[in-house]
Amino acid sequence: MHHPLVGELTFDFRFLQTADAEQLRLMIYTPRSNSGTAEKIERLLATGVRHANGSSLSR
């Protein structure tokens, strides 16, 4: 994925599901190792994230 401020972000993902509810799955995305994505996300969080309407997002 490309972010306009920090550039390319690369993620790995996994599906988690239980035996009791096979129709339900949770997809979890994590920054790919050695891609620089985790550091780019940290930079975005440190500078503050804003919604499209201009309001800020608190951590």
Q: How far is CA 28 from CA 4, 10, 56, 57, in A?
A: 23, 13, 25, 21
In the block, residue with structure tokens 């988690």 = 16
Put simply, whether the predicted model's pTM sits higher than 0.85 gets the answer no
pLDDT of 15 over the 70 cut? yes
Res 56: pLDDT: 63
Which pLDDT belongs to residue 37?
Answer: 98
Q: Write the pLDDT tens digit of every residue in 16-49.
A: 998 898 889 999 999 999 999 999 999 999 987 6
Instruction: Write out the H or E segment, with its range, that includes residue 35.
Output: none
| Predicted local distance difference test score (pLDDT) of residue 50 | 67
Give residue 5's Cα distance to chain centre.
Answer: 15
* Domain positions in the chain: 2-49
Look up residue 11 and give its two tokens. Answer: 């993620």
